[in-house]
Structure 1
Amino acid sequence: MNLSGKLLSIPFIILLSALFLITSCLKENSTRRSNRRAETYKNLQYGTNTDINNKRVDLKLDVYVPEGAADNQTFPMVLYVHGGGFSEGDKNGASALMLKFADSGFVAVSIDYRLIPEDGSSPCTVDPLQTQYASYMAVQDTKAALRYMVANAAAYHVDASKIFLSGNSAGAVTVLNTVYLSQSDFSNMIPGVEIKLGSLDNSTNSLTNTYTIRGIAANSGCLPDPSYITALNAVPMIFFHGEKDEVIPVDKGHTYGCDNTPFVYGSESLYTRASALETAAVVHIDPGGSHLPYNSNFLAINESCFFSSILSGAPESGYYTGNESSCR
């Protein structure tokens, strides 16, 4: 399968786990670079775990700090999860987006997470259990990366009370799952998963730092049902989606249009759910767009603006089509 041809053959989630203490990858252990817009710290190891083939994987992230940060200055943080159908892609593909976030006054973090091997299967014949494992491992790793960044917030100028999540495609699914699906949700969907593969929140590293997510940006993402968003757990959200998306339906339907793949709810359904709960939400719909129709510049401008509106206490809401900006 290609990048858009394997995003989510999932009822959604499962786990592969191992505990490993990783608290020492600070600035001196990374590759440090300066550029015009950000001080970057590359290849910081936030944890380690085994992949689907029981191979040990060191998991790393990159941090982009706004240029010229004073010693004690802190910034809100955006942690980004890349797309690629849970089988390809890496943190390096988001460098342009990360620099744009740093330009806008955010510490930007791009993570690698465990992937499943490319096997050439079509979206309609891929082994769903493999992708269930992969999607759950992605949530595990995202949670571990969040704990790592909170543990090391001072080292990278992060205001740990102002944390946001952003993701594209499989990454958008991951950030939505991270916020809205609990361990009990996963266990109900896949009985015995916690016993078989361990806890959702204790894997990849053994850090115990806590965090609160202030908002989510989901580009071509979905959930298994809008009801996972409740009045108790809802956070402000901004969505981006192509109306002709062939991978994840903009409203609801089977992923990839395959009869045997999961029935999911895309950005329009999730926007409607948020609005019904009176949770701030913005959705951008490209009427002729397929999967991932918006470029990094459009995403960065509108996401950073939306996150800033949350911090101001007056988050934006609204439905936008085409290239109309929601940034006011």
Structure 2
Amino acid sequence: MKKIIALFTIISMFFLSCSSDDNMNNPIDPISGIRYNSIVFNSSQIKESRDVVYGRSTTQAGRTIDLSMNIYQPANDTEPNRPLIVLAHGGGFAEGAKEDFDQLAMYFAQSGYVAATISYRFIEGDGSLKKAVVDAVHDMRAAVRFFTKDDTYNIDNNNVFVGGFSAGAVMALHYAYMDESNLATAPVEIQNHIAATGGISGNSGNPGASEKIKGVISISGGLFKANWVDAGEPILYSIHGDNDSDTTCTIDPESQTNPDGDFTEGPCLIHPLLDELGIRNKFNKIQGGDHGVYFTCNTCDDDMRQFIFESL
């Protein structure tokens, strides 16, 4: 009898060890109500693909460049339809790197999403900020199309989100709300550049694939005109300090005298319009916060994830 018990113990320990190894090498099975709203994968279970080329386009200075991204996703994942989040760094359309958002992309991947942080075209030399925004939006659209053009990444095309900080948020907001219906109210420079560079969709790569998005994450971002928001357009989650002097929460004073100025209407104007139109939104306005308040916010990542989760 003792030999039988000992043998049973050895067999049990063997299967327990195999089970433990499987848990380390394979994804945790998503639990309803937890995946996409909490950390369900550890960092060793995340596959990182760095410097993946998603497109190619021409800068304002005439240089043709590759556009690349870092992609984070659960390894060996069996989920057939996964939400996608495409992130863009800040830097005034003049500096910064896709690696600036690697940590946030990892956070979303550990929650079960496919997440990417992208490079995009900057202003060069005496280039135009307005043209740079159009170029960056075109690049972000190409990045989304990279994922939706086939089933390589098992993306749920109905649950695609874009977002970013500062310039990256400006890019994401214009992706969502600048379209053919409101171009007539845009500065002529924007209208002409869009017409010359492939229209709203642009020509940065992956033509013909879906570029539809469900929502936007704006961290210290703004729109050229808040009233570009129309019924039925993407949902919005914003983080913004009410003391942000770089991208104001309301209207930049300069725009009062310069109607052809830069992108100066912030979430304090955008979100009331979303409410009027019945578009789901959440505004995390941080009292006394400056332009970089997000980077000292301990609850913002969880809050934005909750917003996305509730929209899936």
TM-score bracket for this pair, using the shorter chain length: 0.7 to 0.9
- CA deviations 1:20-51 (Å, max 9, x no partner) are xxxxxxxxxxxxxx952511111111111111
Paired residue for 1:42? 50
Q: CA RMSD in A?
A: 2.5
Deviations 1:263-320 (A, max 9, x none): 7211111111111212211111121111020137633212211011011xxxxxxxxx
> Are the counterparts in 2 of residues 247 and 257 from structure 1 also a CA contact under 8 Å?
no
Give the whole-Å Cα distance in 1 for the aligned partners of 2:250 and 2:185.
24
Using the alignment, how far apart are the partners of 1:113 and 1:161 within structure 2? Answer: 24
On the 8 A contact 1:100/1:297 being kept in 2, the answer is no
2:69 corresponding residue in structure 1: 61
The change in CA–CA distance for 1:54 and 1:187 in structure 2 (over 3 A counts) is farther
8 Å CA contact 2:255, 2:262 repeated in 1: no
Displaced runs of 4+ in structure 1, greater than 6 A? 255-260
Query: 2:171 and 2:144 mapped to 1: Cα distance?
Result: 13
What is the identity, as a one-letter code, of the residue corresponding to 2:63?
K
The offset of 1:160, in angstroms, is 2.0
What are structure 1's unaligned runs of at least 5 residues?
A: 1-33, 120-126, 312-328
Q: Tell me if structure 1 keeps the 8 A contact 2:43–2:110.
A: no
> Residues 172-191 of structure 1 correspond to what in structure 2 (within 5 A)?
172-183=169-180, 185-186=182-183, 188-189=185-186, 190=188, 191=191
Shift, 1:65, TM fit: 0.5
Q: What letter matches 1:223 in structure 2?
A: L
Once the two structures are superposed, the pairs formed by residues 132-143 of structure 1 within 5 Å of their partners are 132-143=130-141
Shift of 1:256: 10
Distance in 1, matches of 2:280 and 2:173, equals 15
- So what's the TM-score if we normalise by structure 2? 0.78
Structure 2 counterpart of 1:168: 165
Question: How far apart are the structure 1 equivalents of 2:251 and 2:283?
Answer: 15
Residue 67 (structure 1) shift = 4.2
- Please, which moves more after superposition, 260-269 or 156-165? 260-269
Counterparts of 1:299 and 1:161 in 2: how far apart (Å)? 24
Change (3 A) 1:279 1:77: same
Q: What is residue 3 of structure 2 aligned with on the other side?
A: none
* Contact in 1 for aligned 2:122/2:132 (Cα 8 Å): yes
1:254–1:157 CA distance, 2 compared to 1 (3 A): farther
Corresponding residue SS for 1:264:
coil
Gap change, CA 1:263 and 1:99, over 3 Å in 2? closer
Alignment of structure 1 residues 38-187 onto 2, 5 Å: 38-70=46-78, 73-117=80-124, 130-152=128-150, 154-183=151-180, 185-186=182-183
Tell me the CA shift for residue 254 of structure 1. Answer: 3.9
Q: Structure 1 CA distance, aligned partners of 2:309 and 2:203? A: 31
Paired residue total? 266
| 1:39-83 CA-partner distances (Å, limit 9, x unpaired) | 11111111111111101110011211024512x533211111111
Report if the CA contact (8 A) 2:197-2:203 is conserved: no
Check whether the contact 1:241–1:284 (CA below 8 A) recurs between aligned residues.
yes
**Partner letter of residue 158 of structure 1?**
I
* Corresponding letter in the other structure for 2:102: S
Identity of aligned residues (%): 25
Alignment of 1:2-17 (within 5 A): none
Residue by residue over 1:102-151, the C-alpha shift from the partner in whole angstroms, topping out at 9 and shown as x without a partner, is 1222110111111113x6xxxxxxx6x61111111001101111111101
Query: Does the 8 A contact of 1:242 with 1:286 survive in 2?
Result: yes
Structure 1's 113 and 257: CA in aligned 2 closer, same or farther, altered over 3 A?
farther
Letter paired with 1:143: R
Q: TM-score, normalised by structure 1?
A: 0.74
Larger Rg: 2
The 1:269/1:238 distance shift into structure 2, 3 A limit, reads: same
SS of the counterpart of 1:165?
A: strand
More helix by share: 2
Q: Which residue of 2 aligns with 1:317?
A: none
Cα distance, 1:171–1:229 mapped onto 2, change above 3 Å: same
What 5-or-longer segments of structure 2 have no aligned partner?
A: 1-41
Matching residue's letter, 2:280? A
Q: Which amino acid aligns with 1:262?
A: D
Amino acid at match of 2:46: A
Q: Which residue of 2 is the match for residue 321 of structure 1?
A: none
